[in-house]
């Protein structure tokens, strides 16, 4: 398979995943892959040039659009779907502690979780906040 076609397949995958996440992070990488594909189509065999051009495009797009996307999120009252988990109830699947993350199920999703108090399997919890990839939970008293 030609390298330009591989770049286009990679770009397509990145763009599809971007449509699922709506974060703009993968969009710039997808555009960089398209630029690399175009360069390989025009000048075949110039992998270094493709990589440099693709990386430069990604860097420029990231630098110049970061303020724009930040403003877009602020004006549109952008809320990450994970933020909606705060206040929801879940079930402990694996014991949770302060220094040893466990696993909880909230809705139909499973998450790593931390808690200030030890929580055992089967206990009901409420999500109090979230980290980048970890939920912070506490025992539900209701």
For 22, 26, 37, 63, 91, the CA distances from 138, given in Å and listed in that order, are 30, 34, 50, 39, 11
The model's confidence at residue 84, banded by pLDDT at 50, 70 and 90, is confident
Terminal-to-terminal C-alpha distance of the chain: 60
State the Cα–Cα distance between residues 57 and 34, nearest whole angstrom: 10
pLDDT tens, residue by residue, 117-136: 899 999 999 999 887 778 88
Domain with CATH 2.40.50.140 in the chain: 83-139
- Please give the model's pTM, rounded to 2 decimal places: 0.51
CATH class of 83-139: mainly beta
pLDDT tens, residue by residue, 36-54: 999 999 998 889 999 999 9
């Amino acid at each position: 398979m030609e390298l330009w076609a591989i770049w286009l397949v990679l770009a397509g995958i990145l763009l599809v995943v971007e449509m699922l996440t709506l974060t703009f992070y993968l969009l710039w990488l997808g555009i960089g892959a398209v630029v690399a594909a175009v360069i390989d189509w025009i000048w075949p065999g110039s992998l270094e040039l493709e990589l440099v051009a693709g990386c430069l495009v990604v860097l420029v797009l990231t630098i110049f659009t970061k303020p724009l996307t930040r403003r877009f999120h602020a004006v549109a009252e952008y809320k990450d779907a994970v933020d909606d988990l705060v206040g929801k109830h879940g079930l402990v699947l694996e014991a949770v502690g302060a220094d040893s993350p466990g696993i909880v199920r909230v809705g139909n999703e499973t998450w790593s979780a931390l808690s200030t108090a030890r929580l055992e399997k089967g206990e009901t919890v409420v999500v109090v906040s979230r980290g980048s990839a970890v939920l912070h939970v506490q025992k539900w008293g209701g």
